[in-house]
Amino acid sequence: MKRARVQNGSVVFDSRRKTWNFLWRVNGQRRSKLLGSKQELPTITAAWRAAEPLRRQLQEQPEQVVHRFGSTATVRTLILDYRTEKMPTRYSSRRSYDAWLKNHIEPKWGDVSITEVQARPVELWLNTLQLSPKSKVQIRGLLHTLWDFAQWRGDIPTQRNPMELVMIKGASKRTRKPRSLTVEEFRILSQHLGEPFRTIAILCVSLGLRISEALGLKWGDVDWLNNRLRIERGIVRQHVDDVKTSNSERTLTLDAELLAVLRAWRGLTEFPGQEDWMFASPAQIGRLPWSFDSVNDAYLRAATAAGIGHVSTHSMRHTFRSWLDAVGTPVAVQQKLMRHADIRTTMNVYGDVVTDEMQVASSKVAELATGSQIGSQLS
């Protein structure tokens, strides 16, 4: 961070978020306020000018600044500071957080102090929202985070977070059962998919990739000699970002049949270079891959034409998990192949595996996807 110290407070540039912030201390506790982006304030001089009203308030009427930005800060002000100091930097996480804050939390609680956001009124309010239980859990989680943030920076005394008392009915139940395809359904679907969507589907169902991970692949990620594929980035809403979790970043084994599928697609694409996106979009002249919406729409059209019901991009990952079960893959191997940090996410058991077992299991699923072996037990 670049910092210019002044008599009351500091102007700081956050190089990660490309924003200017004003920092000061009240009774030994640090406070901050977003001044603007690098685009809005291109120089430190411009950032100083934007901070001048706050500096004058600190010099002339510090008690008003404390009232506005200190322990009696409103939830709206708390959210502003949270965005600057503690909000996740990963694009997809930040995007969803912003949506919950803007559309639900700020309109309801923005003008009150965080201490007024208590368990009973929050639970009653959540019950009135026409949202799924999972969405309500997300909102409760953000309110929990804001409470923790207020305690972390000393706005309120450290205490039990009241959001722990908020109960959400049906929070552990899915509103829609995840869709897994049989081998026959997948093969019918793939017949109605044009390229590159057919290759994307085969790759995702063979390796359990999230669609963001598949779209984030470059040809340089493939080790053709050693049959390996590196998963090291994702793309969400055409923003290049890290993969979902640290455990998701891994090198996977590619079956020979799957390598053949990738070679065939590389021979067709206009963008076969090492630094090119594996699924580069011609409409973007190769600068970006096909968008999530384009892939999802292609799946929906193919599923309709195939008469197999609703299919989404995430159906491929669920199908991978189901096929691993069907070919008799040990649960611990499934956890590794799904790249889950906690085996409870995969199944309520635990264990360890060796690389050979993972390769055999992955190859069996790839054979089902590419059609080189008939999986009658799944049809």
Question: Whole domain around residue 19: which residue ranges?
Answer: 1-70
Query: Among 144, 289, 123, 155, which Cα is nearest to 214's?
Result: 289
**Which residue type sits at 263?**
R
Residues 27 and 102 placed together within one structural domain of the fold: no
Q: Mean per-residue pLDDT for 65-84? A: 69
Residue 376 lies in a domain: no
Does position 374 have pLDDT exceeding 50, yes or no?
no
Residue at a domain's end among 173, 198, 220? 173
Q: Give the integer Cα–Cα distance in Å for 53 and 57.
A: 6
Q: Mean per-residue pLDDT for 179-208? A: 92
Residues 238 and 319 placed together within one structural domain of the fold: yes
Q: What integer pLDDT is reported at residue 294 of this predicted model?
A: 92
Q: Mean per-residue pLDDT for 138-146? A: 94
We report the CATH number of the domain holding residue 340 as 1.10.443.10
Residues 105 and 56 placed together within one structural domain of the fold: no
Q: Between the CA of residue 267 and those of 39, 141, 262, 283, 306, what are the distances in Å? A: 42, 47, 9, 19, 27
Q: Mean per-residue pLDDT for 249-276? A: 91
* Nearby residues of 3 by Cβ (< 8 Å), 6 or more positions away: 10, 11, 12, 13
Percent of the chain past pLDDT 70, that is, above it, reads 81
Residue 275 lies in a domain: yes
Residue 209 lies in a domain: yes
Does position 174 have pLDDT exceeding 60, yes or no?
no
Q: What is the 3-state secondary structure (H, E, C) of 155-224?
A: CCCCCCCHHHHCCCCCCCCCCCCCCCCCHHHHHHHHHCCCCCHHHHHHHHHHHCCCHHHHHCCEHHHEEC
Residues 226 and 324 placed together within one structural domain of the fold: yes
Question: Per residue in 98-112, pLDDT tens?
Answer: 999 999 999 999 988
We report the CATH number of the domain holding residue 150 as 1.10.150.130
Does position 353 have pLDDT exceeding 50, yes or no?
no
Residue 377 lies in a domain: no
Residues 247 and 317 placed together within one structural domain of the fold: yes
Q: Mean per-residue pLDDT for 69-98? A: 80
Stated pTM of the model: 0.59
**Which residue type sits at 325?**
D
Number of independent structural domains in the chain: 3
Q: Between these two residues, 70 and 183, which has the higher pLDDT value?
A: 183
Residues 207 and 149 placed together within one structural domain of the fold: no
Residue 378 lies in a domain: no
Residues 302 and 202 placed together within one structural domain of the fold: yes
Confidence of residue 348 (pLDDT cuts 50, 70, 90): very low
Confidence of residue 171 (pLDDT cuts 50, 70, 90): low
Residues 246 and 356 placed together within one structural domain of the fold: yes
Q: What integer pLDDT is reported at residue 250 of this predicted model?
A: 78
HSE-CB at 85 with a 13 A cutoff on CA atoms is: 19
Q: Between these two residues, 249 and 304, which has the higher pLDDT value?
A: 304
Residue 161 lies in a domain: yes
Burial 311-326 (b: 16+ CB within 10 A, else e): bbbebbbbbbbbbbeb
CB 97 within 8 Å of CB 142: yes
Residues 238 and 106 placed together within one structural domain of the fold: no
Does position 372 have pLDDT exceeding 80, yes or no?
no
Residue 375 lies in a domain: no
Percent of the chain past pLDDT 90, that is, above it, reads 35
Residues 190 and 314 placed together within one structural domain of the fold: yes
Q: In what order do the strands lie in the sheet with 228-231?
A: 222-223, 228-231, 250-253
Confidence of residue 343 (pLDDT cuts 50, 70, 90): very low
Cis before 157 (ω within 30): no
- DSSP, collapsed to helix, strand or coil, labels residue 23 as strand
Residue at a domain's end among 120, 154, 173? 173
Residues 161 and 24 placed together within one structural domain of the fold: no
Q: Give bridge partners of residue 234 from the DSSP assignment.
A: 241
Q: Give the integer Cα–Cα distance in Å for 83 and 66.
A: 19
Residue at a domain's end among 28, 46, 70? 70
Residues 213 and 95 placed together within one structural domain of the fold: no
Q: What integer pLDDT is reported at residue 290 of this predicted model?
A: 92
